Amino acid sequence: MISLKGLCKRYGDRTAVDDLSLEVRPGAVTGFLGPNGAGKSTTMRLILGLDRPTAGTALIGGVPYRELRNPLRTVGAMLDARALHPGRSGYAHLTALARSNGIARGRVTEVLQTVGMAEVARRRAGALSLGMSQRLGIAAALLGDPEVLIFDEPVNGLDPEGVRWGRHLMRSLADEGRTVFVSSHLMSEMQLTADHLVVIGRGRLIMDAPLAEVIAGSALTAVAVRTPHADDLSARLGAAGVTVERLGENELVATGATIERVGDLAYEAGIRLHELRTREASLEQAYQELTAGSVEYSTRGTAA
């Protein structure tokens, strides 16, 4: 488990991480979201002991990273897939990591097969595409068979097959009971991958909740209804303080109420329903609502 308590990081007069407290629990994929400049990469560096916090603590399994006896066997991370010697082959890179951490060489072959790089493992790292570099970075994170995994944009540069593979890998790692913490800007992919979301903006915590709860909280999440008595239901819902939009003669959309509430109001009024379903917002829509006041670098207008 990853535990942050009152975590702060300042660079001069700029605060990158501001009093951040949360827990990333095992057995789930936790998505880490936020606009550019929100402090996501800094937070991950603090967790991994690459930066020292100005205040607060970042613990892995109850201890700071620097106190772990076998770091690579406890936590695997990929923050920058290109951060390796470009003249060294992928196999040599992983072998060096294995030898320095007391990991059997056979494990190198295993992780190369897991990430689909067995046939290109002898190529120089500098000659690899971005997608293959990402796979190599994931292989390095898996090398020690750790219980905690931290990934920063793990599917960046992967083709559609690779993105799908990465999604299933994250899910399978969580299903094995591991702690999986994934930062990404790909909202559609996070919606398919994550169980839980942590959203930050300007270094501060905005949301720490299950994915379903984040989406359900969006103002764009609504209840779609189809009924031959749309006028009657519209009046009944309006009287109960529910906002109603008519889509057609027999269809309407209700916001400001759960599907159970809409169903109960229709039942109490003796109104027959032909369809009742939740029309969910996308994660992208919910995310934009949450971070609207925390975007540091906004683009106005449209490109030609």
Do residues 171 and 275 share a domain? Answer: no
pTM score? 0.85
SS3 1: coil
Query: Three-state secondary structure along 176-221?
Result: CCCEEEEECCCHHHHHHHCCEEEEEECCEEEEEEEHHHHHHCCCCC
> Using CA atoms, how far apart are residues 42 and 225, in angstroms rounded to an integer?
45
Tens digit of pLDDT for each residue in 90-148? 899 999 999 999 999 899 999 999 999 888 888 888 888 888 999 999 999 999 999 99
**pLDDT bucket at 299, cuts 50 / 70 / 90:** low
Do residues 85 and 111 share a domain? Answer: yes
Do residues 111 and 231 share a domain? Answer: no
Alpha-carbon distances of 174 from 23, 177, 194, 203, 261, rounded to whole Å: 15, 5, 10, 26, 34
CATH code (residue 240)? 3.30.70
Q: What's the domain range around 252?
A: 222-279
Is position 300 within any domain? no
Per the structure, the count of domains in the chain is 2
Do residues 240 and 200 share a domain? Answer: no
Do residues 145 and 206 share a domain? Answer: yes
SS3 77: strand
Tens digit of pLDDT for each residue in 33-71? 999 989 999 999 999 999 999 999 999 999 999 999 889
Do residues 253 and 172 share a domain? Answer: no
Tens digit of pLDDT for each residue in 167-186? 999 999 999 999 999 999 99
User: How much is the pLDDT for 296?
Assistant: 66
Do residues 151 and 173 share a domain? Answer: yes
Do residues 157 and 271 share a domain? Answer: no
- Rounded-to-10 torsion of CA 285, 288, 289, 291: 150
